[in-house]
Amino acid sequence: MNWRRIALISVPYFWLLGLFLVPFFIVLKISLSDIALAIPPYTPTLELSEGWSGLRDLVAQLDFENFAFLADDDLYWKSYLSSVQIAFISTFICLLIGFPIAYGMANAPTEWQPTLMLLVILPFWTSFLIRVYSLIGLLSQEGMINQFLMWIGIINEPLMILNTNWAVYIGIVYTYCPFMILPIYATLIKLDASLLEAAEDLGCSRTEAFWRITIPLSKAGIIAGCFLVFIPALGEFVIPSLLGGSGTLMIGKVLFEEFFANRDWPVASAVAVILLLILIIPIVMYQRNEQKMMEADT
Amino acid sequence: MLKMKTGVILAAAVATAQAGWAEEVRVYNWSDYIDEDLLTKFEEETGYELIYDVFDSNEVLETKLLAGGSGYDVVVPSGTFLQRQITAGAFQPLDASMLENTGNLWDVVQARTETYDPGGAYSINYMWGTTGIGVNVDKVTELLGEDAPIASLDLIFDPANMEKLAECGVHFLDAPSEIIPAALQYIGEDPDSKDEDVLAKAEPILTAVRPYVQKYHSSEYISALANGDICVAFGWSGDILQSRDRAWEADNGVEVAYNAPSEGALMWFDQMAIPVDAPNPAGAHAFLDFIMNAENMAAASNYVYYANGNVASQPLLEEDVIGDPAIYPDAETLETLYTTTPYDARAQRFVTRMWTRIKSGT
């Protein structure tokens, strides 16, 4: 391998090392520390001047107490579970909405496609926070949705949507749907239409061809879309805190409480480390699976 | 050669950045807490550029301070938080030689803030107030009758009253360190208790009224009360008085009244202090001195309806500020007010956990 190639490959690795692994180890280290009333609010801290012995002392003072604490209190696993549930259901709804949109876009006349694409991306030109705030205006009891429903007479008194889990689902699905649509659209647009023609020639009905050819061939896009929605939704903080009620349990809110209300950085870091593990396990499993399939193919 | 050039440019860039930095004074204060004309006045008088940011919770401020490098020159924590942050080494001692107006401070308030900051070594009092009950008078008397206990904790801690009030909307502060002492005071326990057994007694009181609380939030109630969206708020005195004023200005027929609960109310103090790593300590002292000027302090109080710790400003206060017992309580009410001290880490965790349980049922 020549050095140019090595240099090229090292760029993503440096990115990963500097912006993921190093911060991760810092967080891991804090999660094994103890809370302290100081700047920064945990102990021990690394004294670079003491060199190796300082590092040894530091490691000797670390322990898993905070993780044991998380296991003791049902708040944490309930929040993880409820986050997984909210993220999972939102991802599923995004898929149900996103796939038909992507399918429609891919099958639209070619000259329309750039415009359709632009329409999907357009909301990103507005700040995420503003989009979530504007949902408050739509969903509140005096909001447009309630006003409209009352005006056409479906309901007699305003529905309580804002400050419930419903609003959280609406917020997540609305914000993250483009992340589902784009990768699916990317795979569908590359799909060879002659395969579908061949299937029909061979006696396949259109629906059958859809299930046996379109879906399997767009699997990569579907999975990518699901990951892109599920992962940020799982740790989401802004949407549940602005749209959700006080009964909405999500791990992002728990993290915020640990950092800001308890000032307990070590426990907050432990919560974050576990969140990362929850995310990494399915991703690694998926990667393994893909690799095996690729090896089987070749 | 190229390397050297970049080095020089970098150094120059850093130097100019630092020079630019020194001319700025960065202040981090509570939201809706100053007459904004004062900000321009400060810039005109001192030549500093003022950068003014706001927060609505002590917790957010404390996290920024303890993380270090907050970049602020002046911050405004409440007394209990200040005390803990002093212990953590978050502030620098004030330089008396740079403050000319300290003589204006009010000894009555200083005697009380002594607990948090002995000798006022690190902070000056900005404003103080009580935590109490704001009501939309018409709606509450409509639901509970003419003799509604609007000046009693019964209004917000008795489920029978709250059940009726839920119809028109009740907000509580999202601040356990304010609500839990009030609940303890209500049942005759020590509001400043750090004992878990005592603290736990607040939980059933708060859980019982939980279903009738529309929202726990520490700033939204100002406009919600003024607009008539809610009819009761358990919040900070000046905020509720601001909302009274906004309703009055909007002339929307909403009449807001504030009362410190007759059972006794929490008295709190917001103190201005200078972070230990403040980029511009000289500018920070200039701001503190500017605030301690009697005329400026009076303008701030006249604007936000909070009492201040500045005795020299009192002749300059408007009658509806200095003469209003909701802002400057009379001697009798002053007797019933209580103060609290900071929770240690263990009690803090206990309180936060309880608060989460009260709010979310888990």
Instruction: Render pLDDT for A44-71 as a digit per residue (tens, 0 to 9).
Output: 887 777 778 778 878 888 888 899 989 9
Decide if A43 is inside a domain.
Answer: no
ipTM of the complex: 0.74
Decide if A143 is inside a domain.
Answer: yes
Residue A249 has pLDDT above 70, yes or no: yes
User: Structural domain boundaries of chain B?
Assistant: 2-128+270-324, 130-267+340-360
Question: Mean pLDDT of all residues in chain B?
Answer: 90
Residue A235 lies in domain: 72-297
Position A1 confidence tier, pLDDT thresholds 50, 70, 90: low
Interface test with A, best of B343, B352, B354 (most A CBs within 10 A): B352
Q: What is the mean pLDDT of residues B71-92?
A: 94
Residue B283 has pLDDT above 60, yes or no: yes
Is B66 in contact with A248 (Cβ distance < 8 A)?
no
Q: What is the mean pLDDT of residues A219-234?
A: 92
Decide if A66 is inside a domain.
Answer: no
Question: Mean pLDDT of all residues in chain A?
Answer: 89
Provide the pLDDT for residue B1: 39
Tell me whether strands B232-236 and B123-136 are parallel, antiparallel or unpaired. antiparallel
Decide if A83 is inside a domain.
Answer: yes
Decide if A33 is inside a domain.
Answer: no
Query: What CATH number does residue A137 fall under?
Result: 1.10.3720.10
Decide if A285 is inside a domain.
Answer: yes
Cβ–Cβ < 8 Å for B288, B104:
no
Q: Per CATH, the architecture of B2-128+270-324 is what?
A: 3-Layer(aba) Sandwich (3.40)
CATH code 3.40.190.10 for B130-267+340-360: yes
Q: How do residues A84-123 score in pLDDT, each as one tens digit? A: 999 999 999 999 999 999 999 999 999 999 999 999 999 8
Percent of chain A with pLDDT over 90: 50
**Both structure tokens of B18:** 């630092």
Looking at mean pLDDT, say which of A4-18, A269-283, B283-297 comes out highest: B283-297
Is B66 in contact with A247 (Cβ distance < 8 A)?
no
Judged on CB neighbours under 10 Å (0-12, 13-18, 19+), A112 is exposed
| Residue B95 to chain A, least CA–CA distance (Å) | 22
Decide if A259 is inside a domain.
Answer: yes
Position B3 confidence tier, pLDDT thresholds 50, 70, 90: very low
Residue B2 has pLDDT above 70, yes or no: no
- Report the residue of chain B nearest A241, measured CA to CA: B217
Q: Which of B60, B88, B360 has the CB atom closest to A247's CB atom?
A: B360
- Report the residue of chain B nearest A77, measured CA to CA: B362
Give B348's contacts in chain A (Cβ within 8 Å).
261-263
Amino acid at B150: I
| Residue B275 to chain A, least CA–CA distance (Å) | 11
Decide if A101 is inside a domain.
Answer: yes
Provide the pLDDT for residue B49: 94
Q: What is the mean pLDDT of residues A16-32?
A: 92
Q: How do residues A164-218 score in pLDDT, each as one tens digit? A: 899 999 999 999 999 999 999 999 999 988 998 999 899 889 899 999 999 999 9
| Residue A67 to chain B, least CA–CA distance (Å) | 16
| Residue B302 to chain A, least CA–CA distance (Å) | 32
Residue A229 has pLDDT above 70, yes or no: yes
Position B16 confidence tier, pLDDT thresholds 50, 70, 90: very low
Count the domains in chain A.
Answer: 1
Position B12 confidence tier, pLDDT thresholds 50, 70, 90: very low
Residue B323 has pLDDT above 80, yes or no: yes
Provide the pLDDT for residue A298: 64
Helical H segments across chain B, by residue range: 2-22, 37-46, 58-67, 79-87, 107-113, 137-144, 154-157, 159-165, 176-186, 196-200, 202-209, 221-227, 237-250, 281-292, 294-304, 319-322, 331-336, 345-360
